[in-house]
Amino acid sequence: MFVHYLSLALAALSTARLAVAVPTSDAEPEFELIRRQGLADVYSSCTEPNTVALTFDDGPYIYETEIVDLLNKNGIKATFFVNGYNWDCIYDDSVIASLQYAYNSGHLIGSHTWSHPDLTTLSWDEIHDEMWKVELALSRIIGVWPAWMRPPYGNYNDLVRSASAIRNQSLVIWDFDSQDSDGASVQESEQYYTDLVNQHPSNVIALNHETYQTTAEQVLPFAIQALKAKGYNFATVAECLGGKPAYHGVFSPGTKDSSWTC
């Protein structure tokens, strides 16, 4: 039954045209995946009080395991919005290992598209292709269909939201930016976190990038201590939005073969 569903879903998702002519059947609840229509929800803030969702974009990359170790040591669950082929190829053995480690440690893995384009510049089919390829990789490597998508640069339009809705995903932006990808120094990013805790908002979705050694080894340890000292709890984006599902499909991952290529 599951294999049946998976193969149909894979076939359907790879063909954007099915987005407007999806098979529906009340007897096949699994087709919820491709039945949902309208515009995807867009979240830029958490709803749970006193909660911080740390998010890490643009991986998987070489600092991911180090970040996961630090999070685990602090009892923190966070969210990684990963690409398929950006700083590294998601199918490299070392990348597979770090991604599986992050997932198995309980961190939420979301989509950040395959190659990190500005989705608002793409056609309907191109948007689906960018989404589909990283979803396939996540289904193979960790056995999930992501429910959460962060559009690169935070850029989206109704076409992106429509494609995301069909793919049963919500969009997550942020309300705090460490600016590590905008050239901020360690001191500047740390100051932004200091300013944040001084402002003491009820909750935070914090944007970080796992692709900088300084983020992994300097800014993140500082941020965790500063946020903990202020009494914040830490959660994934699904948890901080009131306990929504982390994924819309969870199953056994696959085994690497010659088709796992970037």
Active site members: 57, 209
- If the CB atoms of residues 149 and 223 are measured against Zn ion, the closer one turns out to be 149
- Only one of the segments 28-36, 118-126, 130-138, 151-159 lies at the binding site for Zn ion (rule: CB under 5 A); that segment is 151-159
Size of residue set near Zn ion by CB under 5 A: 3
Spatial CA neighbour of 214 closest among 188, 177, 234: 188
Copy the structure tokens of residue 33: 């995946």
Closest separation in Å from C-beta 214 to Zn ion: 17
Spatial CA neighbour of 159 closest among 35, 21, 20, 15: 20
- If the CB atoms of residues 154 and 201 are measured against Zn ion, the closer one turns out to be 154
- Only one of the segments 18-26, 49-57, 171-179, 252-260 lies at the binding site for Zn ion (rule: CB under 5 A); that segment is 49-57
Q: Which of 40, 58, 132, 149 binds Zn ion (CB under 5 A)?
A: 58
Q: What single-letter DSSP state applies at residue 219?
A: I
Angle between helical axes of 220-229 and 64-73 (0-180°, round to 10): 20
Residue written as tokens 């709803």? Answer: 47
Q: What single-letter DSSP state applies at residue 41?
A: -
Hey, is 151 helix, strand or coil?
coil
- If the CB atoms of residues 82 and 166 are measured against Zn ion, the closer one turns out to be 82
Among all residues, whose Cβ is closest to Zn ion? Answer: 57
Closest separation in Å from C-beta 116 to Zn ion: 6
Count of residues making up the chain: 262
- 152 in contact with Zn ion (CB under 5 A): yes
Are 35 and 21 within 8 A, CB to CB?
no
Are 170 and 164 within 8 A, CB to CB?
yes
- If the CB atoms of residues 57 and 232 are measured against Zn ion, the closer one turns out to be 57
196: left (phi over 0), alpha (psi -120 to 50) or beta: alpha
Q: Which of 16, 55, 57, 238 binds Zn ion (CB under 5 A)?
A: 57
Closest separation in Å from C-beta 231 to Zn ion: 30
Closest separation in Å from C-beta 109 to Zn ion: 15
**Where along the sequence are the contacts to Zn ion (CB under 5 A)?**
57-58, 152
